[in-house]
């Protein structure tokens, strides 16, 4: 900052003296902005029963962006420095190769790319029944699977299969979402113990068990 008074222009001091006085090297230095960079996250998912809802990207353990199963997302304007990036909301039948955590260092005006490879295994919905008591239903029951939930929360019938009074049946080809599993065709002298239907989020829950108790039929 220049502190030279106006009278320094008089006499032989001249302009050069004023310029010298204005050379104040003791003033505060102007810091250069640290700058920002970009983090790019890419996902490649293989296998069966893929999670169509995708995953959640976490930045320093805070939820940030969603990314599809085979997709990429850009996180711009990230201040330079070290970060922790994680991939969450991964379906239980899927595994992130080399783990879901990365520790990138963001540099100024640079795009840092993180590649995730996810492998998903085949999973089916298993429904079992166990019936106790007397006068059991010899014809067994019918299992109906409704869903998945859509935007209007309607539940179309997706699967329908018979099951023994004490037995099991399985369903394949379900999408990753919410379903209701219903046991029907139960005889009048029998009752399902517990919830019927059962609401599940597949494949986070991929098995349902119905307990049925039957009582004697009056003559």
Query: Please, what is the average pLDDT of the chain?
Result: 84
Cis check for the bond before 148: say yes or no (omega within 30 of 0).
Answer: yes
Arithmetic mean of pLDDT, 86-107? 93
Tell me the HSE value of 145 on the side-chain side, using a 13 A CA sphere. Answer: 27
Convert the pLDDT of each residue in 171-214 to its tens digit: 988 888 889 999 999 999 999 999 999 999 888 889 999 999 99
Arithmetic mean of pLDDT, 24-51? 73
User: Which residues make up the CATH 2.60.40.10 domain(s) of the chain?
Assistant: 36-120, 125-214
- What pLDDT, on the 0 to 100 scale, is given for residue 8? 39
Sign of the C-alpha dihedral computed for residues 192, 197, 199 and 205 taken in this order: positive
Q: Is the pLDDT of residue 170 over 50?
A: yes
Read off φ and ψ for residue 58, nearest 5 degrees: -110, 135
The CATH classification number of 36-120 equals: 2.60.40.10
Higher pLDDT, 219 or 162: 162
Arithmetic mean of pLDDT, 21-37? 53
Q: 113 - beta bridge partners?
A: 40
- What pLDDT, on the 0 to 100 scale, is given for residue 188? 92
Residue 191 burial (C-beta neighbours within 10 Å; 0-12, 13-18, 19+):
middle
Query: Under a CB-based contact definition with an 8 Å cutoff, are residues 92 and 176 in contact?
Result: no
Which of 11-15, 109-113, 170-174, 202-206 has the least mean pLDDT? 11-15
- What pLDDT, on the 0 to 100 scale, is given for residue 97? 94
Instruction: Label each residue of the chain as H, E or C.
Output: CCCCCHHHHCCCCHHHHHHHHCCCCCCCCCCCCCCEEEEEEEEEEEECCCCCCCEEEEECCEEEEEECCCEEEEEEEEECEECCEEEECCCCCEEECCCCEECCEECCCCEEEEEEEEEECCCCEEEEEEEEECCCCCCCEEEEEECCCCCCCCCCEEEEEEECCCEEEEECCCCCEEEEEEEECCCCCEEEECCCCEEEEECCCCEEEEEEEECCCCC
Arithmetic mean of pLDDT, 150-173? 88
Which of 15-19, 84-88, 170-174, 208-212 has the least mean pLDDT? 15-19
CA distance 130 to 164: 9
Which of 23-27, 69-73, 124-128 has the least mean pLDDT? 23-27
Arithmetic mean of pLDDT, 132-147? 93
- What pLDDT, on the 0 to 100 scale, is given for residue 63? 93
- The domain made up of 125-214 has a fold known as Immunoglobulin-like (2.60.40)
């Amino acid at each position: 900052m220049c502190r030279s008074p106006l009278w320094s222009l008089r006499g032989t001091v001249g302009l050069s003296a004023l310029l010298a006085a204005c050379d104040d090297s003791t003033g505060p230095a102007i810091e250069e902005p640290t700058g920002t960079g970009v983090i790019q996250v890419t996902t490649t998912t293989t296998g069966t029963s893929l999670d169509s809802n995708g995953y959640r990207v976490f930045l320093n353990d805070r939820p940030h962006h969603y990314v599809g199963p085979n997709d990429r997302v850009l996180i711009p304007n990230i201040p330079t420095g070290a970060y922790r990036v994680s991939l969450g909301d991964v379906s239980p039948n899927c595994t992130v190769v080399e783990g879901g955590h990365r520790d990138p260092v963001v540099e100024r005006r640079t795009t840092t790319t993180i590649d995730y490879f996810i492998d998903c295994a085949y999973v089916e919905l298993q429904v079992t029944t166990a019936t106790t008591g007397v006068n059991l239903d010899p014809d067994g029951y019918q299992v109906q699977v409704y869903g998945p939930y859509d935007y209007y929360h309607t539940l179309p019938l997706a699967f329908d299969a018979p099951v023994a009074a004490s037995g099991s049946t399985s369903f394949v080809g379900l999408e990753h979402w919410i379903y209701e599993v219903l046991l029907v065709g139960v005889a009048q002298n029998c009752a399902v113990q517990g919830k019927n239907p059962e609401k599940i989020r597949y494949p986070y829950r991929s098995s349902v068990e119905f307990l049925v108790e039957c009582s004697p039929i009056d003559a």
